[in-house]
Amino acid sequence: MATISYKDAGVDIDAGNAFVEAIQKDVKSTFDSNVIGGIGSFAGAYALPSGYKEPVLLSATDGVGTKLKIAIESGKLDSVGIDLVAMCVNDLICNFGTPLFFLDYYATGKLIPSHAQAVVSGIAAGCRQAECALIGGETAEMPGMYAEDDFDLAGFAVGVAEKSELDTLSKVRSGQILIALPSSGVHSNGYSLVRKLLFDKLGMDFETQFQGKPLWETLLTPTRIYVKLFKEHKEKIQALAHITGGGIVENLPRVLPDGMRAIVKKESIRSLPIFDFISEYVSDEEMYRTFNMGVGMVWVVNQEDVNSILETTDGYTIGHLAEGTKGVEFI
């Protein structure tokens, strides 16, 4: 009787082992003194930092969405890992959580170690930017679930905060100022619309020149990570919103109490060329509820702290808070 192996079924254990060996240097580059043990155990271990009176652990999980299709089809795989980390840690800081560690899940139809290594190298780079440790992950080779060149990513971040810091709603009040921190580009939301418009409708491709460089460079610019800026200015921030899917319209109200309205000066928003181009074909309303429009994060701050924050960041003011029905009003 003929025999069959796991490799015959499409799963290469040796390739998986080679991949784990190849990523060790990148992974270890993210470790800090709180990481316990190394790579290869059944679970990652991380010591809870000292100095907290009532420490609360926070967690966030996310993916990269169809931006992955652009990375896969263009063969440029070294930046989507940064996106993965960014989407998780930028959410954590909105609840005043300082990122501690990160885990990833990489699922593919056929494991190509060099491709997976490029992705994990980006994840490690993102963790270094976010000052958190990459302490674990899972690589799943699942033939039949994904086409051979396809893969999917999921990320999981854990942070810590003082319990007293969690109630940001009580610190938000009328008259406070909205400071926008610029995005680096489209970040990781709205790519189904981007791909439909640019590639299907307009017939563009990855090498089409846009702003003096191939289009793929603009589309794959990694999501900006705001952790260091948050940590530097934490004491002056009353609340903050990560501007992801839903744009300013849906994300800013998430940090407002009932009876508080955000008044945003639309002309103050510093849009990016890619959004200006897309807006030629997409309605203004659709743009603002799909994309970040050049604003990656919004901080709510007291009037007396505005100047010092503007002097030490690349942020700029876009509006203020006022009493009224909870939501965003563009003027």
* Structural domain boundaries in the chain: 13-165, 169-330
Token pair listed for 248: 């300013």
Band of pLDDT at residue 41, cut at 50, 70 and 90: confident
Q: What is the mean pLDDT of residues 155-171?
A: 96
The CATH class that applies to domain 169-330 reads alpha beta
DSSP per-residue string spanning 305-320: GHHHHHHHSS-EEEEE
Region 262-273 average pLDDT: 97
Contact 127, 85 (CB under 8 A): yes
Residue 11: is its pLDDT beyond 80? Answer: no
What does the pLDDT look like over 130-145, one tens digit per residue? 999 999 999 999 998 9
Q: What is the pTM (predicted TM-score) of this model? A: 0.94
pLDDT band at 221 (very low <50, low <70, confident <90, very high): very high
12 vs 196: which has the higher pLDDT? 196
Phi, psi of 148 (to 5 degrees): -55, -40
According to the model, what pLDDT value does residue 10 have?
A: 67
Out of 30-39, 101-110, 191-200, 264-273, pick the least confident. 30-39
**pLDDT above 80: residue 288:** yes
Fold of the CATH domain 13-165? 60s Ribosomal Protein L30; Chain: A; (3.30.1330)
Q: How many residues does the chain have?
A: 331
Q: In whole angstroms, what is the distance from residue 220 CA to residue 206 CA?
A: 10
Q: Is residue 305 over pLDDT 70?
A: yes
Lowest-pLDDT choice from 45-49, 60-64, 188-192: 45-49
pLDDT at 40: 73
Answer whether residue 148 shows pLDDT above 80. Answer: no
Residue 5: pLDDT band by 50, 70, 90 thresholds? low
Say whether 169-330 and 13-165 share the same fold: no
